[in-house]
Amino acid sequence: MATNYVLVDFENVQPDSLAALANGLFRVKVFVGATQAKGRISFELSHSMQMLGASAEYVKIARTGKNAVDMHIAYYIGRLLEKEPAAMIHIVSKDTDFDPLIEYLDAKGSSCKRVKTIAEVPKQASSRPAAPASKVVKPTPHVPSPRRPHAEKLAPIIKHLHSLSGKPATSKKLTQTIASYFKQHGGTLPDKTVALIIDELIRLKYVSQEGTKVSYHLS
């Protein structure tokens, strides 16, 4: 059975309880912003987290900044799907900025949906089509390609570019933007890897390039 991961954008949605997920079928990560971590979390939520035991954890965001929590969630999605391609991801958030990433993952055959409340998650999980009983469905092996960046690098940079009001207008500026983003989120990337990410954005038609000028098709 595929694992159901529930990623809660606690900056955007503050559920009172996670009791609806206490049937053992869900793995829950609650992403808490840096300023929120200094405040109070309700007893009901803390108690329901304890009841979920090892199936639930808080993910504390160390730094403040625009879309800081969203970027961490996008990163985790990439990591989870790299390890478990058949997993089902449920993002609990009212933030529509996640939708371009979800559309991209759906086009790639991954199962990722956004809901506004915890109560919607079990319904969404149960509506997922079951594999035919007569067949044993094996997930397609994930074979990293030397020509394409991993999902955990491509997915968050698509969301980051989508969130920018002033997008880099040249290929040089785009290269600097991608390099700067990953320097702040996980470590410096080799120039070759940055170039591969840009090639993949162009191949997937999220970015167009004409000479040194670049344009975007992210929505």
pLDDT for position 5: 95
pLDDT for position 16: 82
Q: Which residues contact 169 (CB under 8 A, 6 or more apart)?
A: 213, 214
More confident residue, 149 or 185: 185
Are 24 and 105 in contact by the 8 Å Cβ rule? The answer is no
**Can you tell me the mean pLDDT for 89-95?**
93
More confident residue, 138 or 193: 193
**Can you tell me the mean pLDDT for 93-113?**
91
Extents of the domains making up the chain = 4-126, 151-216
- pTM > 0.75: no
pLDDT for position 131: 43
The token pair at 15 is 């559920």
User: What does the alpha-carbon distance between residue 72 and residue 56 come to, in Å, rounded to a whole number?
Assistant: 17
φ and ψ of 57, to 5 deg:
-155, 155
Tell me which CATH code domain 151-216 carries.
Answer: 1.10.10
User: What does the alpha-carbon distance between residue 93 and residue 107 come to, in Å, rounded to a whole number?
Assistant: 21
pLDDT digits (tens, 9 = 90+) for 21-71: 987 889 999 998 877 656 667 788 888 888 888 898 988 887 777 778 888
Burial of residue 11 (CB within 10 Å: 0-12, 13-18, 19+) is buried
Is pLDDT at 125 greater than 60 in this prediction?
yes
pLDDT for position 48: 85
pLDDT for position 8: 92
φ and ψ of 132, to 5 deg:
-55, 135
pLDDT digits (tens, 9 = 90+) for 4-19: 999 999 888 888 888 8
pLDDT for position 40: 66
Question: In 10 A of CB 204, how many CB atoms?
Answer: 15
pLDDT for position 173: 94
Is pLDDT at 94 greater than 70 in this prediction?
yes
pLDDT digits (tens, 9 = 90+) for 177-190: 999 988 888 788 88
CA 167 to chain CA mean position, Å: 21
User: What does the alpha-carbon distance between residue 194 and residue 200 come to, in Å, rounded to a whole number?
Assistant: 10
| Confidence label for 1 from pLDDT (cuts 50, 70 and 90) | low
Do 4-126 and 151-216 fold alike per CATH? no
Is pLDDT at 153 greater than 60 in this prediction?
yes
Is pLDDT at 90 greater than 90 in this prediction?
yes
Pick from 161, 164, 163, 170: nearest CA to 206: 161
Is pLDDT at 134 greater than 70 in this prediction?
no
**Can you tell me the mean pLDDT for 116-134?**
73
Helix (H, G, I), strand (E, B) or coil at 146: coil
Query: Which CATH architecture is the domain 4-126 placed in?
Result: 3-Layer(aba) Sandwich (3.40)
